[in-house]
Structure 1
Amino acid sequence: MGSMMKGKLAAVLLAGGSLFFAAPTTYAAVCSLSSLDATCTFATDSSTPDAIYQNPDNSTVVGSGLIDPFLTVQNNGTESGFSTDAPSNDLPLDTKRAEGNGQFTRTFTIGDLFAVTVNGTSYYRFFLDINEPSGGTSSLLSLDLLKIYNTGSSSAVTLGSGTTLADLGTQGWSLLYDLGANSLGLDYDVFGSGSGKGIDLEVLIPTSVFTGSTTDRIVFATQFSGAGDGFEEWWYQARGTSDVCPPGTVGTPPNCTIPPVLIPEPGSLTLVGLAMFGLLGVQLVRRRAVLQ
Structure 2
Amino acid sequence: MKLKLSSFTTPMGALLLSLSALLASQPAHATTINLNDPSLSPAPTDPGTINGAVFTTNFTQPAGTGVIDPFLTIQSSPTEQGYNGTNGNFDTKRVPQWNHPLTLGSLAEVSLNGQQYYQFVVDVNEPNATSTSTISLDMLSVWTSPTLQSSTSTNSSGLFNGSLGTLRYNMSPSLGSNDVLYFDGNSGSGQADISIYIPVSDFAGASASDYVYMYQMWGNTLPSSGGYEETFAVEGSNLTSVPETSALLPLFAVLGMIIGGPAIRRKLLPA
Is the pair's TM-score, using the shorter chain for normalization, greater than 0.5? yes
| Residues 196, 162 of structure 1: alpha-carbon distance in 2 compared, 3 angstrom cutoff | same
Distance 2:33 2:228 in 1: 22
| Residues 64, 131 of structure 1: alpha-carbon distance in 2 compared, 3 angstrom cutoff | same
Distance 2:27 2:34 in 1: 23
Match of 1:52 in 2: 54
Distance 1:175 1:242 in 2: 26
Match of 2:118 in 1: 124
Secondary structure of the structure 2 residue equivalent to 1:175: strand
Q: CA deviation at 1:237?
A: 0.5
Secondary structure of the structure 2 residue equivalent to 1:27: coil
Distance 2:32 2:73 in 1: 24
**Scaled by the length of structure 2, what TM-score is found?**
0.69
Question: Who wins on radius of gyration, i.e. which is larger?
Answer: 2
What does 1:94-243 correspond to in 2, within 5 Å?
94-98=91-95, 102-151=96-145, 153=146, 155-159=147-151, 165-169=159-163, 173-180=165-172, 181-189=177-185, 191=186, 194-196=187-189, 198-211=191-204, 212-225=206-219, 226-238=223-235, 240-241=236-237, 243=239
- Checking the alignment, whether the CA contact within 8 Å between 1:93 and 1:162 is kept in structure 2 is no
| Residues 94, 161 of structure 1: alpha-carbon distance in 2 compared, 3 angstrom cutoff | farther
Distance 2:45 2:243 in 1: 27
Distance 2:240 2:233 in 1: 16
Match of 2:20 in 1: none
| Residues 201, 129 of structure 1: alpha-carbon distance in 2 compared, 3 angstrom cutoff | same
Distance 1:183 1:56 in 2: 18
Secondary structure of the structure 2 residue equivalent to 1:183: strand
CA RMSD of aligned residues (A): 2.7
- Equivalent pairs counted in the alignment come to 207
Amino acid at match of 2:169: Y
Match of 1:13 in 2: none
**Scaled by the length of structure 1, what TM-score is found?**
0.64
Distance 2:215 2:152 in 1: 13
Match of 1:82 in 2: 83
* Unaligned ranges ≥5, structure 1: 1-22, 250-257, 260-292
Q: CA deviation at 1:135?
A: 1.7
- Checking the alignment, whether the CA contact within 8 Å between 2:64 and 2:191 is kept in structure 1 is no
User: 1:28-56 CA distances to partner (integer Å, 9 max, x unpaired)?
Assistant: 111111169921112xx2xxxx2110001
Q: CA deviation at 1:179?
A: 0.5
